[in-house]
Every structure is written in structure tokens, then in C-alpha cells.
Structure 1
């Protein structure tokens, strides 16, 4: 009889450890998107330093459109092969990571 009661106590004790609830952890991710004002410029108005940097870095790239903001940063819409993308550069032809 002692063994039966001891076994029941062990089983009930082990079941109570599984009944605990795990703490709920919630993590919130906030994303802030800052949109800068770019105005379209003619391709002839793009500085030669940017055109030269584009030819050096991406020889097969075709410049489709160009945009400029108030701080003279240029956004370039380019096509390389069958892929289209955007590049950013300052007026001196230095690439900007955005």
C-alpha cells in the first residue's frame, strides 16, 4: 500500500510541473519610413561626375530617369540587362547607401 501511495504522489507531483504556463513575451517592432522629396530632372542635367561613376561601377547600365532632392542627392533609375533598380549618389559621384 505504501508503494501505491508513493507512486500516486510521484505521478501527481510530476503532472503539476507540466501544468505551469509559460510567460507570454511580445515584442513590438516599429518601422519609421522617411520619404524624401525628389523631383525629376532631365538626363542632360545629371552631373558628369555621376555619369562617370555609373559607367565605372556598372558599365552595362542604362540610365532611365534621374531625380534630385534639396540636398543635391540624386536618385537614379537604371536598367542593367533585364533588371531595373535604383541607385543613390551625391553631386560629386559618391555612392550613397539607402
Structure 2
């Protein structure tokens, strides 16, 4: 009889272990609206922006430059085989996007 009660207690105890509540997982989705950038000549990029590139990213080459209506620049630079995209304002301040 004691074995029956002990085995019943073990079985019921195992049910409570398996019935643990899992934390709720929230999923969020973000959509970033990016302003339209139009390609500009590399010569049209302000000197402050070029200076920031030279100081912050030495030994890189400016491949393409784009500008939007907010006077922000999207710059595609390369260093050897690696390519990067940098965003700056007209004053040369780097913008994180």
C-alpha cells in the first residue's frame, strides 16, 4: 500500500513539473521609411563630409554618393573588397540609421 501511495505521489509530482508556465514571447516588427536618395557626383559632396570620411574611415575610397531632400548624404565607400554604407548630414556628422 505504501508503494502505491508513493508511486502516485511521484506521478502527480511529475505532472506539476511539466506544467510549468513558459514566459510569453513578444514579436515586434519595425518598418523604417527612408527618404528618397538621388545620386550626385562625388565632386558635389561637401568638403566637410569628405573630411569626415578621411578622418573616420582612413584608407577607404568613396565609390558613390546620394543626397536626399533633407540634405543628408548616403555614401558608399570601399576598403579593398569590403563595401560599407555611411549616412551623414551636410556638416559631416555621421547619422546612425
Higher mean alpha-carbon deviation, 11-20 vs 75-84, is at 11-20
TM normalised by structure 1 equals 0.84
Matches within 5 A, 1:49-64: 49-64=48-63
Stretches of structure 2 lacking an aligned partner (at least 5 in a row) = none
Choose 1 or 2 for highest CA Rg. 1
Stretches of structure 1 lacking an aligned partner (at least 5 in a row) = none
- Once residues 67 and 33 of structure 1 are traced to their aligned partners in structure 2, the CA distance between those partners, rounded to angstroms, is 21
> CA RMSD for the aligned pairs?
1.5
TM normalised by structure 2 equals 0.85
Tell me, what secondary structure is at the counterpart of 2:96? Answer: coil
Tell me, what secondary structure is at the counterpart of 1:19? Answer: helix
4+ residue runs over 6 A deviation:
none
Matches within 5 A, 1:35-74: 35-36=33-34, 37-74=36-73
- Once residues 66 and 33 of structure 1 are traced to their aligned partners in structure 2, the CA distance between those partners, rounded to angstroms, is 24
